[in-house]
Amino acid sequence: MDGLSSLVNQYDLFFIDLWGVTHNGKAPFPEALDCYQNLKRENKPVFILSNAPRMPESAIKRLSEMGLSRDLYHDLQTSGYECHKNLRDRSDAFYQDLGTRLYHVGPERDRNLFTSLDEYKDVESIEEADFVLVTGTDAWDRTLESYQKELDQALQHNLPLVCANPDKRVMYGDQIVLCSGAIAAHYQSMGGKTRQHGKPDAEIYQILHSRAQESLNKQIPKDRILMIGDSLATDIAGANAYGIDSLMVLSGIHGGELLPLLSDSEGFSTSLKELGEQFNAEPTYVMEKMYW
């Protein structure tokens, strides 16, 4: 697609991802800000759907600091909040058996996910813990191998692992860096028990769809919803699972593989098909960036 303006009349509700679509981890993309402004002008409701491993108010604050004004979107849903809600409510057997002493793997900024939950205690060693909570890496240059010792210890103690962000890699500036989903996937491959929250689980799409209809006070059929994301593994696979259309932008994690092929339509189509088969996901549309 050449621009979002050519699709705007086909949809009544827009779900938009953050990392790789709205911003690069450091600053918003100017073209994306323009799209938000134009969608508002066209009276098209925007709901942000992010695998950010933190509470919505924290994500909103960070977006405002970056330059994305709060009046440009109706609401924001994070995987972090879904994780928080499950820790709080203990609504199924996994969480009922979890225990209350957690060992946190992630940066300081993500601690708001659990600090308001009084029954949980953040412990300093895996030996003291009932489970591991992974929200991300504590430095952008961390490798998966650097977490191996902690994961070995967790497995030795048969600790379950809760992951608040299924993304395995994200854009930070112009780099692709490790994310918490890769740590969780590796622990699962070692034989550890894991639980993840966020995209591509269709449930988080359904939750946001219901919230949007309640907020807007009208019914919006699935064929009038468009998900805009950069990741086949999460954004697009989740949209496929929920049964809504999707627009994949190449400003994020697949750009390195696909952007060099834009002038080669046959090569581009072949590579996109191969990637889609790898992640079992197929976008409805593809665009270089989130242009208007």
Bigger pLDDT: 1 vs 159: 159
Bigger pLDDT: 167 vs 243: 243
Residue recorded with tokens 């359904």: 206
What is the rounded average pLDDT of the residues 13-34? 94
* Confidence bin at 174 (pLDDT 50/70/90): confident
What is the rounded average pLDDT of the residues 192-209? 96
Q: What pTM did the predictor assign?
A: 0.92
Residue 185 pLDDT greater than 90, yes or no: yes
Position 165: which residue type?
Answer: N
The domain made up of 86-196 has a fold known as Rossmann fold (3.40.50)
Q: Counting Cβ atoms within 10 Å, is residue 131 exposed (0-12), middle (13-18) or buried (19+)?
A: buried
CATH (residue range 4-16+25-51+200-253+263-287):
3.40.50.1000
Q: Do domains 4-16+25-51+200-253+263-287 and 86-196 have the same CATH topology?
A: yes
What is the rounded average pLDDT of the residues 266-274? 94
* Confidence bin at 280 (pLDDT 50/70/90): very high
What is the rounded average pLDDT of the residues 234-259? 94
Q: Which tens digit of pLDDT belongs to each residue from 38-66?
A: 999 999 999 999 999 999 999 999 999 99
204 CB-near residues (< 8 Å, 6+ apart): 49, 77, 79, 82, 197, 198, 238
Tell me which residue of 278, 277, 21, 68 sits closest to 170, measured CA to CA.
21
pLDDT score for 2: 86
Do β-strands 131-134 and 161-163 pair in parallel, antiparallel, or remain unpaired? parallel
The structural domains of the chain, with segments of one domain joined by +, span 4-16+25-51+200-253+263-287, 86-196
Angstrom distance (rounded) from CA 242 to CA 194: 23
What is the rounded average pLDDT of the residues 226-244? 97
Contact 90, 100 (CB under 8 A): no
Strand ordering across the sheet containing 245-249: 75-78, 46-50, 13-16, 225-229, 245-249, 285-287
